[in-house]
Structure 1
Amino acid sequence: MERIPSEYVSCHLCPRACGANRAAGVRGACGATATLRVARAALHFWEEPPISGEAGSGAIFFSACTLRCVFCQNAQISSGNFGADVSVARVAQMMLELEAQGALNINLVTPGHFAPQVVEAVRMARDAGLSIPIVCNTGGYETLECVRLLSQVVDVWLTDFKYASADLAAELSRARDYPAVAAVALTAMLESVRAHGGPASGEDGRMLRGVIVRHLVLPGHTDDSMAVLDRVWELAGNDVDISVMNQYTPNAACRARGGDLARAVTDEEYESVLDHADDLGFERMWWQQGGTVSESFVPAFDMTGVEGPELASRRHD
């Protein structure tokens, strides 16, 4: 029987600080109990070039999420609880399987609410020979304590910075404190990278250590997008890569509510945000060309790579 992390007895891992006894099977504000739950483990080709390259990123999609974004494209797993319960040893084995498939890295997608077990799984995989970088793919809504915990094993931070406006964060993600939380989390991520030697890349261009800050431009909210870029520049300058995305695709809920969120981002809106990033002085910026408004960016959550043998040893001292 697996050890249940003490952090789950009265859970304060995320900024919701719900205090749920996840160790007793109670679901936290994130929707998770103390049991790891995964919806997909497979090569992923749609991240930024330093993450996916041509070989693909080894993405492990964890079920549940601490945010409740009305425009979420992954609602099936973020709030729908789709996935399968797995052991720490099975997650460690998934990492080794993805490396064997040629993955450039292990891409942990929304792992924060399972942080203690994820750290244990990475250590188990390292003991068994895992040699590729670990990427933490997060919505940016993480406590300082959670970032520091994950920093023990994370090499690359692929983090969102969704909003500068507390009102907009409250309206669209039920998280009024998001801008303040994301700023503290980003600062901690930068400190972690610096403490481990600073940014590093491989000869093939893959990121070995560093921070990429993502921002999804929302229709009708370019002023907030520019304010986000201002805040990221203030906090990090060119110590981070910036990824400005135009792939917003209105889901059924957004189409039903109408207004700007029922449509795609216009070329004019997107270009205005890119121009602002240029004006600020970002040197390493990723952007998307036309035709990205599509559900093709959402992987099939069909349990690919989830079931299989566990890593033989569960022990890590």
Structure 2
Amino acid sequence: MVLHQTEPNYVKLHSSGELKKRAETAIARLAECTLCPRQCGADRSHDEPRGSFCGIGRYAWVSSAFPHHGEEPCLRGWNGSGTIFFSGCNLRCVFCQNNDISWYRTGSPCDAQRLARLMIRLQELGCHNINFVTPSHVVAQILEALPIAVEEGLRIPLVYNSGGYDSVETLHLLDGVIDIYMPDIKFTDPAVAERFAHAPDYWEVCQAAIREMHRQVGDLILDERGLAVRGLLVRHLVMPNGLAGTEKAMRFLAEEISPHTYVNIMAQYRPEGRAWDFPEIARRCTPQEYQEAVAIARRLGIYRLCRD
């Protein structure tokens, strides 16, 4: 479907005061944090978090913010996707390519004013969207910054670029705020998820999250220029030895979400971080493994596959 771009819905939520109310709700939950599926109950209301899994306290930490030209074509367009990379994560993927960011608190803390200013700056640079990378643990901070950014003129789509380990209750706070959801489907086997991400409930959580994301935004919609405006885009990284569970993942999308789901089956797995300690993932994927994953998706009815 092609759609002429209109003003994002989050602007209307701000005008009604709803955006501020949701921010206040989310910020209040930091005191005994239940914002992500870890449900750790840590006190994140201070600069130094007390026992939080993600390691992030009252303020989000931003590692970098820039126009990204390596995202999917419908996101990067010609001016880039305005990525904001958050430090910390609610997963512990041993093979993470951004291990220095996700496992540790790197970069610098951003209060609401500074985070809003980053969004505005990326819009001024001509970026087609604001792409929140690894946002699951900083939803409260994003919501707090958005009213300021809207007041300063933010009007481009918002992308929620997550590992797929998201709380449905927290996603409810983002209903009408996020334009484009871009979750991963990393694993479908609980034992694999526990071994490589310390999250045995990953697949159960991920399915519920994707159902809620799709309920909110539907299938991916492009404008007349081929840019994503609204909808769901799923990433699936092919791993060695079939460990990502591609068939179960694609069947879920085709049968329980929508056969029109836009999917990026990614071939760029390489051993990073601590992957060398795990023999079954201590190598790149073969071309055959990737082609088999694509063939599975097509056989199950997933036809909107990302192509550079």
- TM-score, normalization: structure 1? 0.85
AA in 2 matched with 1:250: P
State the Cα distance separating 1:34 from its structure 2 match. Answer: 1.5
Query: Does the 8 Å contact 1:222/1:273 carry over to 2?
Result: no
In the alignment, which residue of structure 2 is the partner of 1:236? Answer: 257
For structure 1, the residue ranges without an aligned partner over 5 or more in a row are: 289-317
Cα pair 1:183 1:235 within 8 Å, conserved: no
2:171 corresponds to which letter in structure 1?
Answer: V
Unaligned runs of 5+ in 2: 1-23
Aligned length: 283
Normalising by structure 2, what TM-score? 0.87
**Alpha-carbon deviation of 1:130?**
1.1
What amino acid sits opposite 2:126 in the alignment?
G
C-alpha distance 226-104 of structure 1, shift in aligned 2 (>3 A):
same
Q: 2:34 aligns with which of 12, 15, 36?
A: 12
SS at match of 2:229: strand
Aligned twin of 1:275: 295
**What is the CA-CA distance between 1:21 and the residue it aligns to?**
0.8
Seen in structure 2, the aligned counterparts of structure 1 residues 104 and 166 have a Cα distance that, compared at 3 Å, is same
Partner of 1:211: 232
Q: Does 1:151 align with 2:147?
A: no
| Correspondences of 1:5-84 after superposition (within 5 Å) | 5-24=27-46, 25-84=49-108
Pick from 106, 127, 136 the counterpart of residue 160 of structure 2. Answer: 136
Secondary structure (helix, strand or coil) at the match of 2:306 reads strand
How far, CA to CA, are the matches of 1:264 and 1:283 in structure 2? Answer: 25
Question: 3-state DSSP class of the match of 2:39?
Answer: coil
CA-to-aligned-CA distance 1:222-274 (integer Å, 9 cap, x gap) = 6712221112222212342011001001015222x252311100011111110
1:253 partnered with 2:277: no
Conserved in 2, the CA contact under 8 Å of 1:122 and 1:153? no
Cα distance, 1:150 vs structure 2: 2.2
1:303 counterpart residue number: none
**Following superposition, which runs of at least 4 residues in structure 1 exceed 4 angstroms of deviation?**
none
Q: Say whether residues 1:224 and 2:245 are aligned partners.
A: yes
8 Å contact 1:156–1:208 — kept in the other structure? yes
Q: Partners of 1:223 and 1:129 in 2: how far apart?
A: 41
Give the equivalent residue in structure 2 for 1:263: 283
Greater displacement, 27-36 / 87-96? 27-36
Per-residue CA distance 1:27-77 (angstroms, 9 max, x = gap): 411111112211101010111111112210000011100000010011111
